[in-house]
Structure 1
Amino acid sequence: MGFLKKFLKSNYRDSETPQGVSSFRNLTEAQLEEHMSVARYGDFTLTDAVRPAYHLDVKPRTGFRHEWYVDQESGARIPVLMSSVTRERLFDTFLSLLDPLGESVDVVLETSHDKSNGEHTDLYREQIDMPVLQSILYDFEDLLLDDGCCGIAVLNPRKPMEVQLDEHKLLFVYGHDNEGYEWALSENGVQCDENIRFITEAEHVHSSSDEFQERFEQLCYHLGIDD
């Protein structure tokens, strides 16, 4: 299907298919275009960064659940809050989660531009003042929300706590003292649901563009990161 190949290659990264059989395989061009144009599911609005499987194995919705991150080397278990937030509240929720990290933080930008195998590159900036960081992030809200090849993590190694907005536009909070973060999520209308499933747990595709890649390079410059 020429259109499907062109569409996925020019706008969307190769689909991630846990089951190995893509739901997009036998779609007509009209079916594909219609599916990719849908951003709203009930009261949840996706950003332009990702689209779910055609069969909607996971229907996007707002909520968070508790998970554990296990360090492969040390075996340490770190509590994780994993959340999905509708587009209208996603950026503000992300910024509210940054406040408890403190006045000086480290930043990690994640990029999978120019990659088709699911890998990504991490770019670091240590010790940036939180007000300066948040001012820069406001200027790049479009990139952070709509580029499916860009993610960001903000951390305070002295706490230690980390907040991540990944390339799927899911929010993660890593750390043991996370009661304040649960409160912040609730204040933004994100309630706990231990049965919620996320778009990463089924087939999905990532969206990006050459313009977003250029914006990402500009973000690196403003953060003082040598890309």
Structure 2
Amino acid sequence: MGFLKNFFTNVYEDVEQKPAPMHSSFDSLSEEELEAHLGVSRYGDFQLSDAVRPSYNLEVVPRAGFRHDVYRDEESRSDVPVVMAAASKENLLDTFMSLLEPLGPVVDVVLETSHSSGGGGHTDLYREHIDMPILQSILWDFEELLTNDGCTGVAVLNPRTPQEVQLDEHKLLIVYGNELTAYEGVLIDHHVDCDEEIRFITEAEHVHSTTERYIQEFAELKMRLGMDGGL
């Protein structure tokens, strides 16, 4: 029951934060069926982290790859190019760290948390002007949290470019900004290839996982980065 408790005792489920679908894939499952599904982390050569699990009927089968998209910035009324990617767990944080390199030597960082959201919403904590080597060293110290906690996300940005690299709560890698060729090259170097037809776990029903230990580690990470507020 240990793994199951991570999901349904210490969990914030996207399927509860939104209007419930008419037919949830988790309806009418026995506890044994549910635990067996949540215990599956490998799909072919792709391994999910402990942060999230797909729907029981596997509307989206997790796999590695990236595609191009567009984010509509309503404030500036402009379209921002986006690259969205999924990387297997064993390559996830290393790929994220490599994606940070093109941002430059000094960046801003945002921590996103939904630990205390009470079933919806996020809190963003912001730190300006941190040297990239220092930031990367701190993030490596919290590799397990960043990889496996479904209520923690981190974004690193260079407002002068402007470009942003995000490792979100679903453990998707998202890059925003113009001139993203360098980031695409990083993904390919880490065996995350372009597939414009790929679908991500966020595009179907899914559940997130967290634990009390991750909540404590998030507070430590926030302190190491010199951030106030939040938890």
Q: Give TM-score, length-normalised by structure 2.
A: 0.93
Q: How does 1:27-46 map to 2 (within 5 A)?
A: 27-46=29-48
CA distance in 2, matches of 1:9, 1:54: 15
Counterpart contact for 1:64–1:192, Cα < 8 Å: yes
- For structure 1, the residue ranges without an aligned partner over 5 or more in a row are none
Residue 16 of structure 2 corresponds to residue 14 of structure 1: no
Over 3 Å counting, the alpha-carbon distance change for 1:178 and 1:197 in structure 2 is: same
Counterpart contact for 1:63–1:191, Cα < 8 Å: yes
3-state SS of the aligned residue for 2:208? strand
Letter in 1 for 2:10: N
Letter in 1 for 2:49: T
CA distance in 2, matches of 1:30, 1:95: 38
CA distance in 2, matches of 1:203, 1:117: 16
Residue 91 of structure 2 corresponds to residue 89 of structure 1: yes
- Cα deviation 1:20-61 (Å, max 9, x = unaligned): 432112100100110011000011000000000000000000
3-state SS of the aligned residue for 1:122? strand
- Cα deviation 1:119-167 (Å, max 9, x = unaligned): 1010000000000000000100000000000000000001111000000
Give the CA deviation at 1:72. Answer: 1.7
Q: How does 1:119-158 map to 2 (within 5 A)?
A: 119-158=121-160
CA distance in 1, matches of 2:132, 2:7: 37
- Cα deviation 1:36-95 (Å, max 9, x = unaligned): 110000110000000000000000000000000001222210000000000011111000
Counterpart contact for 2:7–2:210, Cα < 8 Å: no
Counterpart contact for 2:6–2:210, Cα < 8 Å: no
Greater Cα shift, 70-79 or 14-23: 14-23
CA distance in 1, matches of 2:174, 2:119: 23
Count of matched residue pairs: 223
CA distance in 2, matches of 1:154, 1:116: 26
Look up the match of 1:199: 201
Q: How does 1:97-112 map to 2 (within 5 A)?
A: 97-112=99-114
3-state SS of the aligned residue for 2:153? strand
Over 3 Å counting, the alpha-carbon distance change for 1:75 and 1:117 in structure 2 is: farther
Counterpart contact for 1:164–1:173, Cα < 8 Å: yes
Q: How does 1:66-77 map to 2 (within 5 A)?
A: 66-77=68-79
Counterpart contact for 1:104–1:129, Cα < 8 Å: yes
Over 3 Å counting, the alpha-carbon distance change for 1:63 and 1:84 in structure 2 is: same
Identity %, equivalent residues = 57
Look up the match of 2:215: 213
CA distance in 2, matches of 1:8, 1:90: 21
Counterpart contact for 2:53–2:206, Cα < 8 Å: yes
Give the CA deviation at 1:7. Answer: 6.6
Look up the match of 1:63: 65
Over 3 Å counting, the alpha-carbon distance change for 1:184 and 1:218 in structure 2 is: same
Counterpart contact for 1:14–1:116, Cα < 8 Å: no
